[in-house]
Amino acid sequence: MPDNFNIHTVLVAPLDWGLGHATRCIPIIRALVTNGFNVIIAADGAQAHLLNQEFPMLTILPIPGYRVRYAGTRAGLALALMKQLPRLKRLISEEHQWLQQVIDQHQINLVISDNRYGLYSEKVSCIFITHQLIIKAPFGWLQKILQYINYRYINRFSACWVPDTEGEHNLAGILSHPEQLPAIPVRYMGVLSRFREKKLGKKYDYCILLSGPEPQRSLLEEKIIQGLPKLNSTCLLVRGKPGEAETIFIDEKVTVKNHLRGSELEEAINQSDYIVCRSGYTSVMELLSLHKKAILIPTPGQTEQEYLAERLQEKGYCLSFSQDRFDCSKHLPMAETFSYQQVSLITFGETDLPPLLNSSLLQ
């Protein structure tokens, strides 16, 4: 397989906004390894820890994260992000220079960047992965500006892979299916999921998966810790803190884990009636591919998550509540009477990689 493309070593680099970008790269890395490529990962912090657990045999190069800090309130989010734009622009430029050196040092032949805008190069083919061809914004004029900036960076890459399906029955809606596509080849690769559906005995009523940037992760955790004892149900709380040693106790019926390896999390999800999580796109892809009943709590002010939660509830795929008003004992039992609709998804698999590379790189 590698000889057909003159590609032997591939660098895979996920963005560090939460764990979703890293986890959705797992099926891509598996496919690359299965198809005979030498894979090097670029990651830092929690993302590096997670990927090292999944692929202990692979080299992981440290790369500075964007480390975006979210505001404590929805109203303050836009201002907080605006203040960080000059720093983000500098980081993108620095990671571009970093890549130029890494390509030569490690003889990289292909770069796969999940939403890291600086990882493009004229030396080798570079693929950009995103489901956000449109970046949702509260104002139409601002959304147009963001799309222009988004495409300006994306068009520096060789191709763009979108983790969704073409046509009407897609998952991300307008986010991944804008009226105008980038100028480079755009390929819909199917839904990305590291998990498989398994028929296991029930262990938990609710599996609660915390994730995402601070301080919103901790704010939601505080609400959930206060509400779970009133629920009187068997629960698993996964805090989304890989590498964290601190342990907490909530209630006899509540099992708390800081982090679970992929295989452990897959088992826990399959053993639970309902899954509670953010409406991050990676979480949505994985849960719907497993046909699980999900309860979504979008990160306040994160327009993409708010859009997905509203869209998926309208379709009957998931139930959704805002974080501000969320109450475990009141809202979680409502899932029992919600009319969940099943969705059939095309999922990316290891055999899909060769034709995807063919259509992306051999123009």
Question: How does pLDDT run across 78-95, given as a tens digit for each residue?
Answer: 556 666 677 778 889 999
Q: Cα dist. 51→45, 165, 351, 357 in Å?
A: 10, 26, 22, 23
Spatial distance between the Cα atoms of 115 and 112, rounded to a whole number of angstroms: 9
Report whether pLDDT(285) > 90: yes
Report whether pLDDT(67) > 70: no
Q: Hey, where are the domains in the chain? A: 2-191+347-361, 204-337
Spatial distance between the Cα atoms of 274 and 15, rounded to a whole number of angstroms: 28
Q: Look at residue 77 in the predicted model and tell me its pLDDT.
A: 54
- Domain spanning 2-191+347-361 has what CATH number? 3.40.50.2000
Q: Cα dist. 123→3, 196, 250 in Å?
A: 18, 37, 53
pLDDT band at 16 (very low <50, low <70, confident <90, very high): confident
Window from 41-55, 102-116, 131-145, 224-238 with minimum mean pLDDT: 131-145
pLDDT band at 301 (very low <50, low <70, confident <90, very high): confident
Is 204-337 in the same CATH topology as 2-191+347-361? Answer: yes
Q: What is the second-level CATH architecture of the domain 204-337?
A: 3-Layer(aba) Sandwich (3.40)
Question: How does pLDDT run across 128-140, given as a tens digit for each residue?
Answer: 999 999 887 766 7
Question: How does pLDDT run across 140-164, given as a tens digit for each residue?
Answer: 777 788 888 899 999 999 999 999 9
Question: How does pLDDT run across 184-196, given as a tens digit for each residue?
Answer: 999 999 999 999 9
